[in-house]
Amino acid sequence: MLILDSVAAMQQWSQARRQAGQDIAFVPTMGFLHQGHVSLLDAARKAADLLVLSIFVNPTQFGAGEDFDTYPQDLAKDTHLAKKAGVDVVFVPPAAQMYPQGYNSWVEVAGITEVLCGASRPGHFRGVTTVVNKLFNIIAPRVAFFGNKDFQQLAVIRRMVKDLNLPVDIVGLPIVREADGLAMSSRNSYLAQEERQQALCLSQAIAQAQQLAKNGELRVTEILHRLRMSIESHLLVKIDYLKICHQDSLQEQMLVDENSVLLLAVFIGRTRLIDNAFVMEPVAKIPL
């Protein structure tokens, strides 16, 4: 397994491999890998001749006062997991090469970036689409893998790829959860013991919404009212947003149907966590 820490070396490797007739699967990450990332690597390994993992804590997708400076990192553990997953190249570009002095170009998707996380974190998706575009240009993958946990991010990336005719297939894979239901996230490492316990309100809210829909309650206002009461009974939790939206447009819905996705973002102490699920999916196997 190669570890490449220069944009030029990554581009040369990719060009040579593609000229030799090999195709590349790509998993972009910010590192501090967990089983959710490993599930992406496992699927990507099977999808192409070669597998590239990028680890880059992208400064442009963090707002002022967010956790860029404290974002967890463990390159030794990440490279160990990458090797086990059969990664061919770990790409760890320095920020100064990704955004050299004078850098002033941005990729921006309108519309679906203006709601949910886009409303709470202005500029976040511009940073994401810009860096993903740059990584696609450097690595030139045939296929790239993303987790469904960042549901809106995946929708934004699909929109960008379609709108800009990027020659990359985008694959989204299911959320990987801890045994008690908490969606895996690098940010879970910030949680103190009591916060970790209260973080279960996210997956419990999903199970509650799915149960309500299964029982015939399809009115979004009523479902969200009940969820809000459950979540707000957790004293360390503050809701950022709690919405049921159409899976494609991300527009809020009045009535639940098979396109409805419950999207949640909460602060638990200083940690912001997100989760989501289709409301009409079979009731999640999440302890209520």
Residues that bind ligand PAF (CB under 6 A): 28-30, 58, 61, 128, 131-132, 150, 153
In terms of residues, how long is the chain?
288
DSSP state of 172: E
CB of 58 to ligand PAF, least distance (A): 4
Q: Identify which of residues 29 and 203 has a Cβ nearer to ligand PAF in the complex.
A: 29
CB of 17 to ligand PAF, least distance (A): 22
Q: Identify which of residues 92 and 231 has a Cβ nearer to ligand PAF in the complex.
A: 92
- Cα dihedral 178, 173, 10, 126, rounded to 10, equals -90
Rounded Cα gap, residues 2 and 272, in angstroms: 34
Q: Identify which of residues 61 and 198 has a Cβ nearer to ligand PAF in the complex.
A: 61
DSSP state of 171: E
Is residue 246 annotated as a catalytic residue, yes or no? Answer: no
Are 246 and 122 contacting, i.e. CB atoms less than 8 angstroms apart? no
Query: For residue 90, what are the β-bridge partners?
Result: 3, 53
Residue of 34, 37, 124, 246 marked active site: 37
Q: Identify which of residues 186 and 204 has a Cβ nearer to ligand PAF in the complex.
A: 186
CB of 196 to ligand PAF, least distance (A): 21
CB of 92 to ligand PAF, least distance (A): 12
Q: Kindly report the CA angle at 131 between 58 and 152, in degrees rounded to 5?
A: 90
Largest CA distance in the chain: 59
Return the active site residues: 37
